[in-house]
Amino acid sequence: MDFNAVLLPPGDFTIGKTFHFEAGHRLPALPSEHKCSRQHGHSYKVEVILAAPSLEGPGFVTDFGALAPFKKFLATELDHSNLHEILPFEPTSERLAQFLAGWLIQNLQPVIPGRLVAVLVRETGSSWARFDMEGR
């Protein structure tokens, strides 16, 4: 087969990388009988999704190693914390996804190729929240 004969279709490239941290929280605005109003914890998984119309370097949207500062932020600022005590908002997965997208835009977007598309936060294996960037 002549591999040079394969036509490469136009489109965007998308990548994702998953990060982990452990944290506790409660949602004090909920009624006291709601289970999430009480202190509990999660093994959070955070997926960062980036896209680009063309590739950099040897063929990357973004080198996964360039996301190391985000991993460090999660480890030093959120891991093994009570999120409701350190974050300036009710720490639902939805708001956490939006907050982490804001952190990525302020701290990494200016220095990495690719654009942030979305941040997905998983509290459990069966529940997640995703924040999609508008107009990016």
The residues that are catalytic are 36, 80, 123
| Residue 80: C-alpha distances to residues 83, 87, 111 (Å) | 9, 13, 28
What local confidence, expressed as pLDDT, does residue 136 receive?
A: 53
Distance, in Å, from the CA atom of 129 to the CA atom of 20, rounded to the nearest integer, reads: 15
- The domain ranges of the chain are 3-132
What percentage of residues in the chain have a pLDDT greater than 90? 87
- CB 110: neighbour CB atoms within 10 A? 7
Mean pLDDT of 106-125: 96
CB burial string 65-97: b at 16+ within 10 A, e below: ebbeebbebbeeebeebebbeebeebbbbebbb
Cα–Cα–Cα angle for 63, 123, 136, rounded to 5 degrees:
45
CATH number of 3-132: 3.30.479.10
Kindly tell me if the per-residue pLDDT of 13 is higher than 80.
yes
Alpha carbon 116 to chain centroid distance? 9
